[in-house]
């Protein structure tokens, strides 16, 4: 007997989302971001599916990139944070990785390195995120040093990252676009700025490369409806099943700490899913859950292996009935908002205990 909790991964939804990104930025090359185990979906499986459909992939670090190479992924892979030690550079060059240069130390490591062959470089410029990147006033100097060192394959890609592109009315994105364009004016080479929200909603920022991540997995980065984001299809649907149904008298409490109390005679379904399976412990009473395709409400504290759901207002519910925690019919973003977090975190924290089951409708 198999425990019914699983993350179903719809590859046709992934294909749809890639096609949408292509449609929105038809002149740009597409880099699929598969860091953090492809946002919890499985890096190797998703990279294999993406490789023939994208122009490159991106990860956070060498360890993630090497996993993909060892699995037979051959396309270019960008290290979004660059290298953390000079000793990584020959390995990255040999493996055909592209590196990000975002500070003087990384640039000096490259200038001093002995490499088996030239390496692709992305020069990151800090236009307002203030985490990583050369200052706008350093852009020309860094660019010239990259050209002069003789170790860079082709022209560097000039890139930046948006801090607030998911806020549709925040003027910071326009300010970053203008600063980026001013800092790179007169420099030859491709440009890249668009993450998922910018791919969806800021077409001026598409430039030569787009870098969608979260949107590829079919989830909106916006807290409000957005025309293009509403066309996305979720790749992951987290599912389980009812394992118990019981009647609760008015005034009775459910779960650890009795955080939910029945205000009327109630019917409560127990579902075999919990924070050990990636469902957030911080999900509050009232968080939506789909039981037999109908909305019900979380009732009581999330435990490691189980949740309880108020199904009083639903048609009769029985052991074995299907439950959707997020995905098709219920966005991970909505669950995240009830949990005090964002959908990115819920997906990337999905543990290996939860089996991934591939579908291709």
Q: What is the pLDDT of residues 4-16, one digit of tens each?
A: 999 999 999 999 9
| CATH 3.40.640.10, applies to 11-219 | no
| % residues pLDDT > 90 (the chain) | 98
Task: Kindly name the residue from 35, 39, 124, 344 that is annotated as catalytic.
Answer: 35
pLDDT of residue 360: 77
Structure tokens at 109: 């490591």
Task: Kindly name the residue from 143, 256, 279, 344 that is annotated as catalytic.
Answer: 256
Contact 65, 59 (CB under 8 A): yes
pLDDT of residue 51: 98
Confirm whether 35 is a catalytic residue.
yes
pLDDT of residue 361: 65
pLDDT of residue 1: 58
Distance CA 84, CA 80 (A): 11
CATH fold for the domain made of 236-359: Lyase, Ornithine Decarboxylase; Chain A, domain 1 (2.40.37)
Which residues in the chain come in under a pLDDT of 70? 1, 361
147-171 burial: b if 16+ Cβ within 10 Å, else e: eebebbeebbbbbbbbbbbbbbeee
Provide CATH 3.20.20.10 ranges for the chain: 11-219
Distance CA 235, CA 232 (A): 9
Provide CATH 2.40.37.10 ranges for the chain: 236-359
CA distances to 85, 321, 324 from 294, rounded to whole Å, are: 52, 11, 9
Distance CA 295, CA 150 (A): 60
Confirm whether 124 is a catalytic residue.
no
| pLDDT tens-digit series, residues 120-154 | 999 999 999 999 999 999 999 999 999 999 999 99
SS3 of 196-246: the string is HHHHHHCHHHCCCEECCCHHHHCCCCCCCCCCCHHHCCCCEEEEEEEEEEE
Please name which of 349, 356, 223 lies closest in space to residue 280, comparing C-alpha atoms: 349
């Amino acid at each position: 007997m198999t425990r019914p909790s699983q993350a179903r991964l719809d590859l046709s939804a992934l294909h749809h989302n890639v096609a949408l990104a292509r449609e929105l930025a038809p002149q740009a090359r597409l880099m699929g971001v598969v860091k953090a185990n492809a946002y919890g979906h499985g890096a190797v499986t998703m990279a294999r599916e993406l490789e023939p459909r994208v122009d490159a992939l991106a990860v956070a670090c060498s360890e993630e990139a090497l996993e993909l190479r060892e699995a037979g992924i051959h396309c270019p892979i960008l290290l979004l944070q660059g290298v953390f030690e000079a000793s990584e550079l020959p390995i990255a060059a040999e493996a055909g990785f592209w590196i990000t240069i975002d500070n003087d130390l990384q640039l000096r490591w490259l200038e001093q390195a002995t490499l088996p062959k030239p390496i692709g470089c992305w020069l990151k410029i800090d236009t307002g995120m203030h985490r990583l990147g050369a200052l706008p006033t350093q852009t020309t100097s860094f660019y010239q040093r990259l050209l002069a060192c003789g170790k860079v394959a082709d022209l560097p890609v000039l890139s930046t990252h948006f801090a607030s592109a998911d806020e549709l009315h925040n003027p910071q994105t326009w300010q970053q676009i203008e600063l980026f364009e001013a800092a790179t004016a007169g420099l030859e080479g491709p440009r890249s700025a668009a993450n998922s929200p910018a791919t969806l909603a800021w077409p001026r920022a598409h430039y030569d490369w787009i870098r969608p991540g979260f949107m590829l997995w079919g989830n909106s980065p916006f807290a409000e409806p957005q025309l293009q984001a509403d066309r996305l299809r979720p790749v992951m649907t987290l599912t389980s099943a009812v394992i118990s149904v019981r009647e609760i008298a008015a005034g009775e409490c459910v779960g650890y700490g009795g955080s939910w109390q029945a205000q009327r005679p109630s019917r409560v379904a127990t579902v075999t899913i919990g924070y050990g399976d990636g469902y957030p412990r911080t999900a509050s009473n009232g968080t939506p859950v789909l039981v037999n395709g109908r909305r019900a409400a979380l009732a009581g504290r999330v435990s490691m292996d189980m949740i309880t759901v108020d199904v009083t207002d639903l048609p009769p519910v029985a052991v074995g009935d299907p439950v959707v925690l997020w995905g098709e019919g219920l966005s991970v973003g909505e669950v995240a908002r009830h949990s005090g977090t964002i959908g990115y975190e819920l997906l990337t924290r999905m543990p290996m205990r939860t089996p991934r089951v591939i579908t291709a409708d």
